[in-house]
Structure 1
Amino acid sequence: MHVDLLIENATILTQDPARPVARNLLVHGGRILAVDADPGLVSPRRTIDAGGATLTPGFIDAHAHSVWFGLTLMETDLGAVRSLQEVYDAVAAASRGAGPDEWIVASGFSPLLLGGLQPDRDRLDQASAGRPVWIKHSSGHACTLNGAALELVARGADLAAPVDGGLVAVDAQGRPTGLLEENAMRLVQDLMLPYPQETIEQALGLASRHYLSEGITSVTDAGIAGGWIGHSRREFAAYQSARDKGLLEVRMQPMMVLDTLHPVAGHADDPAVRTLDGGIRSGLGDEWLHLGPVKIFTDGSLLGATAYMTEEYVGCPHQHGYLQMDPEELRSAALEAYRAGWSLALHAIGDHAVEHAIDIITEAQDAHGRRRMPNRIEHGGVVRPEQLDRIAEAGIVLVPQPRFITEFGDGMAGLLGPERVELSYPARSVLDRGAVLPGSSDRPVAGGRPLDVMQAFAERLTPSGAVYGAAERITPAQALAAYTTGSAAATGTADHKGMLAPGYVADIVFLSADPTAVPASALGSIDVLATMVGGTLRYGAERFSAELRFPSEEGLPAVAR
């Protein structure tokens, strides 16, 4: 039998319960043809000697932001700053050589890493020599402007007017500080957006290539084309163009943001729905690019203390965070989208917001049934035990990000207090209830290298080394499962992704060590040697050059072409 590829001399962690470990596999037509086949019975066109490497299914990040991440690779990086002076220095460096009216755009700023300190608008003016400055916070739920940028915003908006679901921060004298929270960020986005389609395509290309270097073969982009998180109303078109141009080298599942949907009329007997013209809904597309659930923001950010909590934040009297929409408007819009065929992905971090999310999803499922693409709750910064029970019973997927603990855990613990830390970003409690646990990063809010996130799943250590919710630790094997079978189930693709088994896509990661056989503390030190997507080595090919048995296709049987 002629086949495209034989990979041999490997430790293959298939994630298939029927055959958990294998030594070789056959690939044909971009899919796994057989596992542990007798090499003497096939004639592979190419053979790869894995040299004893460990192979796993390609990693699936169930919640990241690809366009946003790609843009950060093009902007001034503030992710490593540890003082306000370093912020000013970075802005000054970016300003050198910039045009007199050119915006200085920076990304990755985290006030939590600076003890909550915010840049001073006047110091930013000095650093930029009067150029407008837009600093995007790593949380994605706030940004900071300098005085020059505020002046430009004020030409078209009243900064003193209240913002529904957002805040323009002011000092004791009522002067805007430059900090814009949640929906108030639209004030600057109205000036700066949309991004050109070519810029979005370039961002996707940069993100895609970076993903491959980390073993990521599939990504769900958790919010495009609308809200404060979108970059253009034509963002999905940019995805399509990027794919046509060969810029997308991994599989993508973008989520449309709720406000991209609108009422669409149908027959008089049809129910009222909220969708896209033509009745487009979740699932449109193919194995390389298809629409995911509709993304719905309920509350804000734990990093910014705007997530909606039942109890107030520690040290912040009467501060509980807030919902971003009126509760009834939120419920009505979500149900209309679900009626139209959209699966739901509700951003909910605080436990009060989680309660709203569970109520909405269960009402939708009770009325219209469950979906092949599961309904989800994104993040789960604080989830009470009885809420986890309801989530498991309803088949809802909770999508936590343990890397937040590694990067921001001390700050989060200070805001939550010890009791709520035990309820924060659960993992083992999800598995113990038989629910799906996916792997995800929320990149670029936090680092997104899957092996680092797996280590965070297993260790749950804050930057200071404190343990954050020890009872929620999981094993390295469970962490690997989260990034493979768990994420495949969460994204509605478990019938063809997440395992190395016959019929599944040949998305494969070559690793320097077995992640299930090392201490948790060593997971992040494992190297990604190569990444294969659809049977093609797209990263690390120089390490595993395939032995070519048939120099050309001439004379090959049709099945081998």
Structure 2
Amino acid sequence: MLVDLLIRNAHILTQDPAHPVAGSLLVHDGKILAVDPDLEGAGFPVRAARTIDAGGATIVPGFNDVHAHSVWFGLGLMEANLGAASCLEDVYRIIAEAAEPLATDEWVIASGFSPLLLGGRQPDRDRLDAAAGGRPVWIKHSSGHACTLNGAALDLVARGADLAAPIDGGVVAVDGTGRPTGLLEENAMRLVQDLMLPYPLETIERALDLATTHYLSEGITSVTDAGIAGGWIGYSPREFAAYQNARDKGLLSVRMQPMMVLDALHEVRGHATDPDSRGLDAGIRTGLGDEWLRLGPVKIFSDGSLLGSTAYMTEEYVGCPHNHGYLQMDAEQLRSSALQAYRAGWAIAMHAIGDHAIDHAIDIITEAQDTYGRNALPNRIEHGGVVRPEQLDRIAEAGIVLVPQPHFITEFGDGMAQLLGPERTLRSYPARSLLERGAVLPGSSDRPVSNGRPLDVMQSFVERLTPSGQVYGPGERITAAEALAAYTTGSAAATGAGGIKGRLAPGYLADLVILDQDPTAVEPSRISATQVLGTMVGGDLRFGAEHFPALTDTDDLAAAAAGKDN
């Protein structure tokens, strides 16, 4: 028997309770064929087209980020980067440098700006005008829930829109004189997006190429993109076509599960006996696709951002009298549109950060499940910035997957704690509470809102330390082994792929990561120091091949494995 690949001499954390630690793997046709095969007792010769000696390195299943934004991240790699700005003067300098080579009427586009890291300070529209030499400036905030324009850009927007008109679920910020400051929150961002979008498909494909190539260097083999093709988070109504094109062109380096934004769906006519539904033409719905590219749930925004104080809370923000945040649409409209999509076969992934928004999300999802039954994929609540204990009980009982982002704590924890106060901080971005209730805990980052390197996020799961070194919700800490499980088996379960991903076991996809140390066996502060030596997707070593030259002489496996692997 000739098989594709033997990996030997490894320390393999399989995430399979039946065989948790192994030393060798057989890979064939993109899947795991055998774990620690008994070569001597096979009864017939087995040979491998390739053999990789892992040299004692640790191997784990491929990391799966179930909430990221790959196009947004890839575009950010092509735009001016404000992520390292430590003061507003840095912002003006970076904008000036980006503007210098541009024509006088070209837009300066920058990404990664975080007011929270600058004490809430916003760039001055007039200073931006000067820095850009009068060119229009569009600054995308790292939260994704706001952007900043300069005066030149506001003038262009004002040609086609009334900046003073009220906006459902959004705000055009003004100063004491009523003059727009340039800050656009939530749905108000559509004012500039109407001018700049859609992006060409080739630009989106290039962004996916850059993003997914980067993912491989971090051990990521699967990603769920949380919102495409509509709303303020999409880049083109044809965005899913860019994913298909990228795959056809070999530009999609990892497995992808894009979520359609609710705005991309519409009423679809059917027979008089068919229920009213909201979906895509031809009845396309959640689950369409294959192991490389498959449609996920519909992404529904209920509230805003904790970083921007627009997440919908039952209690007001500390230091912000009467500010509870807000829903992005009328509560009944939110319910009815979600139920229409669910009836059409779309699983629900509802963005809900504030605990009041989570009340709405739980009510809607449980009503959908009780009325119409379970859909193909688990229903989800994205983020969970503040979750009360009784809400956690309801989430676990209903089989809803809550998708928290612990690295928000590492990057923004001090600012979030200040906005929430000590009591709510204890209930913020839970992890341990989910596991104690038997709920699914997946791994995710919300990249590029936050750093998306899985090993860094795992350390955040374990330590929960803010930038100042304070412990943020100590009762929600988990172990390194549990953090690894979140990024493997937990993420697979959250995405409906628990039968083919997340474990290194016979029949599972041969998606794996080769590491220089065991992240579950080091001090918590050393987890992020773990280096990715190689990343394999479907049996193909797509990153780090130079570290593991494969033997291709079809050596007899029994000879290759002489001296039993650890």
- Write the distance in 2 (CA, Å) between the matches of 1:93 and 1:475: 44
**Aligned counterpart, 1:442:** 446
Q: Deviations over 1:228-265 (max 9, x none)?
A: 00000000000000000000010000000001111111
Q: What is the CA-CA distance between 1:370 and the residue it aligns to?
A: 1.5
**Aligned counterpart, 2:35:** 35
**Aligned counterpart, 1:76:** 80
Q: Are 2:494 and 1:490 equivalent residues in the alignment?
A: yes
Equivalent position amino acid for 2:64 in 1: I
Q: Are 2:220 and 1:216 equivalent residues in the alignment?
A: yes
**Aligned counterpart, 1:558:** none
Q: Are 2:2 and 1:2 equivalent residues in the alignment?
A: yes
**Aligned counterpart, 2:249:** 245
Match of 2:173 among 169, 173, 178: 169
**Aligned counterpart, 1:559:** none
| Contact 2:3–2:26 under 8 Å retained in 1 | yes
The 5-angstrom pairing of residues 94-173 of structure 1 reads 94-173=98-177
Q: Are 2:399 and 1:399 equivalent residues in the alignment?
A: no
The 5-angstrom pairing of residues 266-345 of structure 1 reads 266-345=270-349
- Write the distance in 2 (CA, Å) between the matches of 1:192 and 1:469: 41
- Write the distance in 2 (CA, Å) between the matches of 1:144 and 1:269: 48
- Write the distance in 2 (CA, Å) between the matches of 1:307 and 1:135: 21
Match of 1:227 among 203, 206, 231: 231
The secondary structure found in structure 2 opposite 1:417 is helix
- Unaligned stretches of 5+ in structure 1? 552-561
Q: Deviations over 1:194-222 (max 9, x none)?
A: 00000000000000100000000000000
Q: Are 2:24 and 1:20 equivalent residues in the alignment?
A: no
Match of 1:389 among 386, 393, 397: 393
Q: What is the CA-CA distance between 1:45 and the residue it aligns to?
A: 1.0
**Aligned counterpart, 1:534:** 538
- Write the distance in 2 (CA, Å) between the matches of 1:420 and 1:499: 35
The 5-angstrom pairing of residues 349-428 of structure 1 reads 349-428=353-432
Equivalent position amino acid for 2:10 in 1: A
**Aligned counterpart, 1:557:** none
Aligned residues: CA RMSD: 0.7
Aligned residue pairs: how many? 551
- Write the distance in 2 (CA, Å) between the matches of 1:506 and 1:255: 24
Q: What is the CA-CA distance between 1:102 and the residue it aligns to?
A: 0.7
- Write the distance in 2 (CA, Å) between the matches of 1:225 and 1:101: 28
Q: What is the CA-CA distance between 1:39 and the residue it aligns to?
A: 3.9
Q: What is the CA-CA distance between 1:38 and the residue it aligns to?
A: 2.6
Equivalent position amino acid for 1:116 in 2: G
Q: Are 2:209 and 1:205 equivalent residues in the alignment?
A: yes
Q: Are 2:89 and 1:85 equivalent residues in the alignment?
A: yes
- Write the distance in 2 (CA, Å) between the matches of 1:482 and 1:519: 18
- Write the distance in 1 (CA, Å) between the matches of 2:416 and 2:47: 56
- Write the distance in 2 (CA, Å) between the matches of 1:370 and 1:505: 26
Q: What is the CA-CA distance between 1:497 and the residue it aligns to?
A: 0.3
| Contact 2:25–2:34 under 8 Å retained in 1 | yes
Q: Are 2:350 and 1:346 equivalent residues in the alignment?
A: yes
Equivalent position amino acid for 2:453 in 1: R
Equivalent position amino acid for 1:256 in 2: M
Equivalent position amino acid for 1:316 in 2: C
Q: What is the CA-CA distance between 1:541 and the residue it aligns to?
A: 0.4
The secondary structure found in structure 2 opposite 1:308 is coil
**Aligned counterpart, 2:468:** 464
The secondary structure found in structure 1 opposite 2:294 is coil
Equivalent position amino acid for 1:271 in 2: P
Match of 2:506 among 484, 499, 502: 502
Equivalent position amino acid for 1:346 in 2: M
| Contact 2:47–2:554 under 8 Å retained in 1 | no
Equivalent position amino acid for 1:163 in 2: I
Q: What is the CA-CA distance between 1:524 and the residue it aligns to?
A: 0.4
Q: What is the CA-CA distance between 1:519 and the residue it aligns to?
A: 1.2
- Out of 266-275 and 347-356, give the one that drifted further: 266-275
Q: What is the CA-CA distance between 1:156 and the residue it aligns to?
A: 0.3
- Write the distance in 1 (CA, Å) between the matches of 2:282 and 2:433: 41
Q: What is the CA-CA distance between 1:326 and the residue it aligns to?
A: 0.4
- Write the distance in 1 (CA, Å) between the matches of 2:145 and 2:376: 31
* Percent identity for Structure 1 against Structure 2: 77
**Aligned counterpart, 2:434:** 430
The secondary structure found in structure 2 opposite 1:548 is coil
**Aligned counterpart, 2:562:** none
- Write the distance in 1 (CA, Å) between the matches of 2:333 and 2:373: 22
- Write the distance in 2 (CA, Å) between the matches of 1:195 and 1:523: 38
Equivalent position amino acid for 1:319 in 2: N
- Write the distance in 2 (CA, Å) between the matches of 1:337 and 1:177: 37
TM-score (norm 1): 0.98
- Write the distance in 2 (CA, Å) between the matches of 1:294 and 1:543: 40
Q: Are 2:176 and 1:179 equivalent residues in the alignment?
A: no
- Write the distance in 1 (CA, Å) between the matches of 2:303 and 2:236: 22
| Contact 2:112–2:448 under 8 Å retained in 1 | yes
Q: What is the CA-CA distance between 1:550 and the residue it aligns to?
A: 4.2
The secondary structure found in structure 1 opposite 2:487 is helix
The secondary structure found in structure 1 opposite 2:212 is helix
- Unaligned stretches of 5+ in structure 2? 556-566
- Write the distance in 1 (CA, Å) between the matches of 2:37 and 2:31: 15
Equivalent position amino acid for 1:418 in 2: P
- Write the distance in 2 (CA, Å) between the matches of 1:550 and 1:310: 65
Equivalent position amino acid for 1:5 in 2: L
Q: Are 2:260 and 1:256 equivalent residues in the alignment?
A: yes
The secondary structure found in structure 1 opposite 2:491 is helix
- Write the distance in 1 (CA, Å) between the matches of 2:509 and 2:291: 9
Q: What is the CA-CA distance between 1:372 and the residue it aligns to?
A: 3.2
Q: What is the CA-CA distance between 1:371 and the residue it aligns to?
A: 2.4
Equivalent position amino acid for 1:184 in 2: A
**Aligned counterpart, 1:62:** 66
The secondary structure found in structure 2 opposite 1:38 is coil
- Write the distance in 2 (CA, Å) between the matches of 1:277 and 1:334: 17
Equivalent position amino acid for 1:18 in 2: A
Equivalent position amino acid for 1:217 in 2: T
- Write the distance in 1 (CA, Å) between the matches of 2:220 and 2:368: 32
- Write the distance in 1 (CA, Å) between the matches of 2:91 and 2:484: 36
TM-score (norm 2): 0.97
